[in-house]
A and B are shown apart, each in its own frame.
Chain A
Amino acid sequence: MAQMTMIQAITDAMRVELKDDENVLVFGEDVGKNGGVFRATEGLQDEFGKERVFDTPLAESAIGGLSIGLALEGYRPVPEIQFFGFVYEVMDSINGQMARMRYRSGGTKSQPITIRSPFGGGVNTPEMHADSLEGLIAQQPGIKVVIPSTPYDAKGLLIASIRDNDPVVFLEHMKLYRSFRGEVPEEAYTVELGKADVKREGKDVTLIAYGAMVHTCLKAAEELEKDGIDAEIIDLMTVSPLDIDTIIESVKKTNRVVVVQEAQRQAGVASTVISEIQERAILHLEAPVLRVTAPDTVFAFSEAEKIWLPDHNDVIEKVNQVMNF
């Protein structure tokens, strides 16, 4: 076991897969010689060559198209979109094309593509870098959306994503890249897609979160424990499709739920989680399911991030509301 940051775990996952499968190709803006703007692909071009790890012209739409075409030639593309705010340039290639390819070809063609892209607030980025846009992709049939919160999960989920024979959008929260280290096995291993993980067991209330909000919930849970409230924390890890079984099992145990996301209330996947709970476990609820989210404005100017992004106090407030309903 090695101690790695999340970004090191991500690099390691790509290294393992580049080594394991000669069809894996890594490409994007500055991912080659430069090793990526966050060093996620550091050293990979030197180790595997310019035919496996390469730079592209600056055009997201064609990066998407390139991936689609390479997949049609039997490759397993792992393209990068430098920041997920730039996804609008490539929405057609992702939602309009690769997500639909297996279906539109009547199952005769597949798109084993993993799009990696950083997102997330708290690091004072300029405009259109930090927006949480996972909800846009989560609404598109044919594609999976994966968001890890720890180095261990990041490596296992990325390997599983690369090995998946359908397209996956793999979103990496910038604040989690280097904020802490965790134990990561050196060898290849997978963490199953579409499965949530209980990051903290508890009996009084279920907190459902993903991305940086998992850590926000862990911090809130420590505070809540002092008040005698035992919170269970579910890290969704795959936000589309959702792991209904893990969610419902926890709801049936705690009978109270708060869903926590960094995205605005009208975005993200919290509403979907709540719909599933009310359809499947309404008789197990002692209180309405509440949401912690950002407000429904455009992502904050960086100096306003602190007052805009949801934090552990917001989580504590909503937990108290569901506890005292």
Chain B
Amino acid sequence: MKHVLESVESQFEVFQILNEDGKIVNKDDMPDLSDEDLKELMRRMVYTRVLDQRSIALNRQGRLGFYAPTAGQEASQLGSHFALEKDDFILPGYRDVPQLIWHGLPLYQAFLFSRGHFHGNQMPEGVNALSPQIIIGAQYVQAAGVALGMKLRGKKAVAVTYTGDGGTSQGDFYEGMNFAGAYGAPAIFFVQNNYFAISVPVEQQTAAKTLAQKAVAAGIEGIQVDGMDVLAMYAATKHARERAINGDGPMLIEALTYRYGPHTMAGDDPTRYRTEDLDNEWEKKDPIVRFRTFLEGKKLWSEEEENKVIEQAKDDIKEAIKEADKYPKQKVTDLMENMYEELPHNLQEQWEEYKEKESK
């Protein structure tokens, strides 16, 4: 009898371009990015790191609500997003707010999402995205539908969705990839493997050695990428996008990454399940540190430039929080009006009841 597991797993090697020392280790796959693009990628990563730090602080002050920290995942989130076009449709998970912001969601609306205000979910016209999905896996089956829609419309665009390592255990994770595969639909499925689903390590999710190999079950391409390497994330996504719009179907991209912070700000304490050694090991892989080294080597980045981005981010965040504070409070009648195109009998009645209450 033939045993194939080892030979399957050997097909999934980590794709890397920039190593931990900021050196290019894979010239062949080096993406074609201008100096300005490279700087813009760095700006976005630094900006998003500041956004994470400020969001945690604002959450602690009670000025933000639900927040899932992103520090450590900048290369995975922003490198992948940088390879997308405006027409591409993003179906984010709950940790994927940065991709939405860089796709066009105004910062103050992202803050309103965190606080729990419907305006935070009102994507501006032309921002092709859903608000962050709370039901883990649901974004995957929906992405298959968006991608099939794009294919039927003849669009040269892709549906892009993100989940975590824990999410790969869901039925919808498998169904979403499998449907997109069966229809040859232009979808890119990301797994951001940060090794922990709250407190549960990835080894307890599956006996599979990689998450990328789960693509095999759907008969689609899969790749495992160093998710702390922004150039590798960009190159892999760009490749998946080109395949998809050329009619070659979906792809699964596993990003090996790490969240430096807790799972969410709702009382999770990572010291219960992660060792300091592990945290230190991953801090050495920091995507911003290695990309900074790379850019400084090319004389494209300076401390001065970095400080400029940090100040800009802080100013923007301050302004955005002010704008969020100013935004009108929600009324029950608002919530009712967003339920249906036309209010049915029961809601019409309740609307009048609440309108009366609100006028007092």
Contacts and interface: CB of A to CB of B under 8 A. Distances in A.
B146 interface: yes
B338 A62 contact: no
Contact of B121 (A25, A72, A74, A104): A104
B345 A61 contact: no
B121 A69 contact: no
Given A106-B118, A194-B344, A72 B339 contact: no
Nearest to A52: B152
Contacts of A165: 341
B340 A166 contact: yes
Contacts of B142: 65, 68-69, 72, 97
B130 A72 contact: yes
A65 B141 contact: yes
Given A105-B123, A107-B122, A165-B341, A57 B178 contact: yes
B87 to A, nearest CB: 11
A69 B145 contact: yes
Interface stretch (B64-72, B168-176, B236-244, B285-293): B168-176
A105 B150 contact: no
Interface stretch (A125-133, A200-208, A239-247, A286-294): A239-247
Interface residues of A, number: 44
Contacts of B122: 105-108
Nearest to A193: B344
Contact of B141 (A25, A61, A241): A61
Nearest to A195: B345
A62 B218 CA distance: 13
A303 interface: no
A33 to B, nearest CB: 15
A110 B341 contact: yes
Interface in B173-224: 175-176, 178-179, 182
B147 interface: yes
A284 interface: no
Contact of B149 (A72, A92, A96, A241): A72
A69 B178 contact: no
Contacts of B159: 69
A301 interface: no
B359 interface: no
B175 A102 contact: no
Contacts of A57: 175, 178-179, 182
A25 B153 CA distance: 13
Contacts of A96: 135, 138
Given A75-B152, A106-B338, A62 B172 contact: yes
Contacts of A71: 145
Contact of B175 (A25, A59, A107, A142): A59
Contacts of B153: 73-74
A64 B179 CA distance: 11
A245 B149 CA distance: 40
B175 A61 contact: yes
Given A62-B144, A72-B146, A107-B338, 5 more contacts: A57-B182, A92-B172, A106-B338, A164-B341, A165-B341
Interface of B: 89, 118-119, 121-123, 130-131, 135, 138, 140-150, 152-153, 159, 171-172, 175-176, 178-179, 182, 335, 337-341, 344-347
Nearest 5 pairs between A and B by C-beta?
Answer: A69-B145, A65-B141, A73-B149, A62-B175, A106-B122
